[in-house]
Amino acid sequence: MMMRTLILFAALIGAAPALSAPVLMIAIDGLRPQEWQRTDNGQPLPNLRGLARAGVSAAVIGVLPTVTYPSHTTLLTGAAPRRHGIDANLTFDPLRRNQGGWYWYASDIKAQTLWQAAVGAGLKTVNVHWPVSVGVAGLAANLPQIWHTGMPDDDKLLAALATPGLPAAMVAEAGAYPPGIDEGIAADEARAAHAIALMRRERPAFTTVYLTAFDHEQHEAGPDTPAAWAVLARIDAAVGRLVATARAIDPATTIVLVSDHGFAPISRTTNLFLPLVKAGLIRLSADGKAIASWDAVPWIDGGSAAIVLARPDDAALKARVAQVLAEAAADPTAGIDRIIDSQAIAAAGGSAAASFWVNSKPGWAMGDALQGSQGSPTTSRGTHGYFPDVPAMRTSLIAVGPGLPAGRDLGLIDMRGIAPAVAARLGVRLRDAELPPAF
Over the stretch 173-211, which tens digit does the pLDDT of each residue have? 999 999 999 999 999 999 999 999 999 999 999 999 999
Q: Which tens digits make up the pLDDT trace of 101-130? A: 999 999 999 999 999 999 999 999 999 999
Query: 163: closest CA among 110, 201, 213, 193?
Result: 201
Kindly list the structural domains of the chain, giving each domain's residue range(s) and its CATH number in brackets, ordered by start. Answer: 2-263+395-426 (3.40.720.10), 265-383 (no CATH)
Can you tell me whether residue 336 is helix, strand or coil?
A: strand
Query: Considering the chain, what is the average pLDDT of its residues?
Result: 95
Which helix (H) or strand (E) covers residue 216, if one does?
helix 213-221
Q: Residue 90 forms beta bridges with which residues?
A: 102
pLDDT band at 19 (very low <50, low <70, confident <90, very high): low
Q: What one-character-per-residue DSSP string does 67-82 give? A: SHHHHHHHHHHS--HH
Instruction: Tell whether omega for the bond before 65 is within 30 degrees of 0, i.e. cis.
Output: yes
pLDDT band at 346 (very low <50, low <70, confident <90, very high): very high
Phi first, then psi: what are they for 96, rounded to 5°?
60, 50
Phi first, then psi: what are they for 171, rounded to 5°?
-60, -45
Supply the DSSP symbol for 161.
H
Query: CA-to-CA distance for 209 and 275, rounded, in angstroms?
Result: 41
- Residue 39's pLDDT is 81
Predicted TM-score (pTM) of this structure: 0.95
Can you tell me whether residue 47 is helix, strand or coil?
A: helix
Share of the chain above pLDDT 90, in %: 94
Query: CA-to-CA distance for 85 and 87, rounded, in angstroms?
Result: 6
Contacts of 430 (CB under 8 A, 6+ apart): 13, 77, 78, 112, 114, 117, 419, 420, 423
Q: How do 395-400 and 56-61 pair as beta strands? A: antiparallel
Residue 9 has pLDDT above 60, yes or no: no
Looking at 10-24, 56-70, 230-244, which range is the least confident one? 10-24
Query: CA-to-CA distance for 144 and 105, rounded, in angstroms?
Result: 9
Residue 12 has pLDDT above 90, yes or no: no
pLDDT band at 3 (very low <50, low <70, confident <90, very high): very low
Query: CA-to-CA distance for 339 and 325, rounded, in angstroms?
Result: 8
Share of the chain above pLDDT 70, in %: 96
Residue 2 has pLDDT above 60, yes or no: no
Query: CA-to-CA distance for 404 and 412, rounded, in angstroms?
Result: 17
Residue 40 has pLDDT above 90, yes or no: no
User: Cα 249 to chain center, whole Å?
Assistant: 28
Cβ density class 358-394: b for 16+ within 10 Å, e for less? bbbbeebbbbeebeeebbeebeebbbbbbbbebebbb
Mean pLDDT, residues 64-71 taken together:
98
- Residue 17's pLDDT is 44
Can you tell me whether residue 372 is helix, strand or coil?
A: coil
CB-CB contact of 93 with 291 (8 Å): no
Mean pLDDT, residues 91-106 taken together:
97
- Residue 317's pLDDT is 98
Query: 192: closest CA among 210, 205, 179, 206?
Result: 210
Q: Name the burial class of residue 50, with classes exposed (0-12), middle (13-18) and buried (19+) by CB atoms within 10 angstroms of its CB.
A: middle
Q: Which tens digits make up the pLDDT trace of 278-317? A: 999 999 999 999 999 999 999 999 999 999 999 999 999 9
Q: How many CB atoms lie within 10 A of CB 288?
A: 9
Longest alpha-carbon distance in the chain: 65
Q: At what angle do helices 226-249 and 46-54 cross, to 10 degrees?
A: 50
Residue 404 has pLDDT above 90, yes or no: yes
pLDDT band at 4 (very low <50, low <70, confident <90, very high): very low
- Residue 15's pLDDT is 41
Q: Residue 341 forms beta bridges with which residues?
A: 356
Q: How do 336-341 and 354-360 pair as beta strands? A: antiparallel
